[in-house]
Amino acid sequence: MTLTRCFCVSLNTFKECCEPYIYGTHNVPTVLALMQSRYSAYATLQAAYLMETTHISERKHYSKSDILQWAASNKWQKLEIITATENTVEFKAYFLDSKLQNQIHHELSTFKLENGSWFYVDGKFF
């Protein structure tokens, strides 16, 4: 049996790393873990998780179908964490778009802890 390395490029397998967060068997302990699991959710087309981990005040700006379409139209290459604080993560997500052109999504994301769970609030794009 071959174990897949996690999409977030940690040294762990997907099963040991982001999968438990995406499938709800473990709570996400930090903003860094949430960022990594959200990247893995894009790579594994888990739009429901992406919606669930977006703060309720921001969900009106997104739809599962749009997230799924965008995630599926790209081939996710790697996640690079630049900095992380208690409630922010700056990262670069590398991917090939539908025309197989290299792309980099560079963002400083803000997160909020509410009722013991972390949520994505918004991001500043570079």
Task: Give the pLDDT of residue 3.
Answer: 73
Which pTM value belongs to this model? 0.95
pLDDT tens string 39-69: 999 999 999 999 999 999 999 999 999 999 9
Task: Give the pLDDT of residue 2.
Answer: 62
Nearest to 56 by CA among 123, 117, 103: 117
Using the predicted structure, report yes or no on whether residue 1 has a pLDDT greater than 60. Answer: no
The CATH class given to the 19-125 domain equals: alpha beta
CB within 8 Å of 121: residues ≥ 6 apart:
55, 57, 58, 109, 110, 111, 112
